[in-house]
Amino acid sequence: MSSHSGETVETGTAHLLATRAGGVLTLTLNRPEVRNAFSREMLEGLAAMLDLAASDEEVRVVVLTGAGGTFCAGGDLTKLAAGESIFGPADAPAVRLASQKALQRATVVRLRELDKPSIAVIEGAAVGAGLGLALACDLRYAGASATLRTGFGRLGLAGDFGCTWALDRLVGASRALELLYLSPPLTAARARELGLVNEAVPDERLGAHAAKVAARIAAVSPDALRAMKRHVARAHDHDHASCADAEAERHVRLLESGAHREAVRAITLPTTRTPTTSGAEES
Listing DSSP states for 233-267 in one string gives HHTTTS-HHHHHHHHHHHHHHHHTSHHHHHHHHHH
Check pLDDT > 60 for residue 272.
no
Share of the chain above pLDDT 90, in %: 73
Q: At what angle do helices 163-171 and 173-182 cross, to 10 degrees?
A: 130
In angstroms, rounded to a whole number, what is the distance separating the alpha carbons of residues 109 and 103?
9
Half-sphere exposure of 130 (CA within 13 A, CB side): 33
- Digit-coded pLDDT (tens) for 200-237: 999 999 999 999 999 999 999 999 999 999 999 888 88
Q: What is the pLDDT of residue 174?
A: 98
- pTM here is 0.88
